[in-house]
Amino acid sequence: MLINVPEFLNIPEKLLPLITEFNNYRYFMIEGGRGGGKTYGVARLLTYIADKETVRIVCGREVQNTIDESVYTVFKDLMLEYDLPYDVLSNEIRHLGKESNINFKGFREQGRAGIKGLEGCSILWIDEAQSITKNTLDIIIPTIRKQKAKIFFTMNRWKKNDPVYQQFKDRDDCLHIKINYTDNPFCSQALIHEAEESKKNGEDGDYRHIWLGEPVEEIDNYLFSIKELEETKNVEFMYNEASYGYRIGAFDIARMGSDRSAFVVIEQKGPQHWEEIYTEIWKKKDLAHTTGRIIDRVAKFKLDITAIDSDGMGAGPADIVDFFNHTPKSIVEFRAGYASPDDLNITTGQKRLTRRYSNLKSWAWWQVKDMMENNCLRLNTKVILTDLETIMYDFKPNGERFIISKDDIRSKEKMRSMGISSPDSGDALMMAVSEIRNIKQIYDKETNTLPKYSQMDSDLEQELPNYARTS
């Protein structure tokens, strides 16, 4: 981007839209790791504006016990370095000619009354915005009432859905920029050296969070990364879909409390490629209703395999459906605690000496992850993606991988923060994926492109099932 700017506004090219698009947005969200220049970039821009126009700028944080915890020092250093006409006081900075002023607030310390004092603010800059709570945000935003007021957020996110990020990432009136030290030509060699040293330290996550601005929760022990969850929505299939069409459905049955029952259907789109085509959730009802719903859905979606959660309450519906459902299609019981398929050597039938996964459930969740990493699974429903954000894993001392129970304190806290009680639809997806191993792989062929299960007796006309037809 080639634009002429004063030397004072010499900021990384990636931040230049803060200048060129200033009048086109009300909100500006700049995120990234250390050394990206986001704090100094915003400070330079606001200092320049205050020198040209009479504005009231407020710089705030969720917590600010002393002025030194704010961006006060950044402004002070700029004004001393460039000998700018500002009066730098102990808790405020005033322009000597334009009557502009820059104030510093800690929202939690000053409380609701202090936040409401922002009404006359021209520009609000919230640094360390990843720490802003939803309650604070709900008070701040309606308080900034000036028609042309601007609000800046600078942050290095802790969570994927920090309140600021969640509220502004998709808004048309918010300019969103992510910048790291690799995008900043003004980053000092000392900082670059520190970043590269951190990069050498292995998989502790410090480098990716501190220097690349990735949320901590993504690099902790959450099974699915933000990138994987975003990319799975856009997976494309390059196969002749008429050659496939197997359908697997799975039911996660509510047991107690605020659990929900969930039903998920996945359909084969290629040799190893599947798509989630239907998801529904219902609140816990009596056993008769759940059983009836299972029978109806199996028939309606013409499922080739149906997996039913058979731990606890799920066992009843599984037995009833298996008895009443007069269909050649397979209905299987999913037992989370059963041994992983990797536990047995498929050639010798002998149990392996070392186990990679503690049980079937853990193995199945890693199958979901492997499919996502290899662009073999497309997910379309938001509730499933939300559930997948809560799945956590750990290792046993012997190296076994296991999925942390939803009753674990960390899992409960995560789900509570996201407004869900249990990853029910996610569990249903996991059970469906676990049955892919029982589907014989098929491949596109120039002749006889029908999947094997759709082939009739040789003396009958072959007919593709309705649900596998292409429009």
Domain edges within the chain:
7-188, 231-438
> Quick one: DSSP state of residue 392?
B
Strand partners, 249: 265, 306
Q: What is the pLDDT of residues 379-395, one digit of tens each?
A: 999 899 989 988 988 87
The owner of tokens 């109806």 is 296
Nearest Cα residue to 340 out of 391, 399, 402? 402
Count the residues in the chain.
471
* 3-state secondary structure at position 50: helix
Fill in the amino acid letter for 361: K
CATH of domain 231-438: 3.30.420.240
CA-to-CA distance for 242 and 138, rounded, in angstroms?
A: 50
The owner of tokens 């935003």 is 141
What pLDDT, on a 0 to 100 scale, did the predictor assign at position 469?
32
Fill in the amino acid letter for 169: K
Q: Do domains 7-188 and 231-438 have the same CATH topology?
A: no
Mean pLDDT of the chain: 81
Q: What is the pLDDT of residues 309-350, one digit of tens each?
A: 887 555 666 665 555 555 545 788 888 888 888 765 555 656
Q: What is the pLDDT of residues 126-167, one digit of tens each?
A: 999 988 888 888 888 988 988 899 999 999 987 777 889 989
Q: Where are the alpha helices (DSSP H) in 53-106?
A: 72-81
Report yes or no: 452 and 442 within 8 Å, Cβ to Cβ: yes
Report yes or no: 332 and 305 within 8 Å, Cβ to Cβ: yes
Residue 374, Cβ density class (10 Å: 0-12 exposed, 13-18 middle, ≥19 buried): exposed
- DSSP secondary structure of 177-192: EE--GGG-TT--HHHH
Fill in the amino acid letter for 296: D
* CA distance readout (Å), 23 to 27, 173, 178, 300, 428: 10, 11, 20, 54, 47
| Residue 123 predicted with pLDDT over 70 | yes
Nearest Cα residue to 169 out of 32, 27, 23, 24? 27
- DSSP secondary structure of 332-383: EEE-TTSPPGGGB-TTT-PBPSS-SBSSHHHHHHHHHHHHHHTT-EE---HH
Query: Crossing angle for the helix pair 72-81 and 38-52, nearest 10 degrees?
Result: 60
| Residue 291 predicted with pLDDT over 60 | yes
What pLDDT, on a 0 to 100 scale, did the predictor assign at position 448?
38
CA-to-CA distance for 410 and 416, rounded, in angstroms?
A: 10
pTM of the entire structure?
A: 0.52
CATH of domain 7-188: 3.40.50.300
What pLDDT, on a 0 to 100 scale, did the predictor assign at position 419?
63
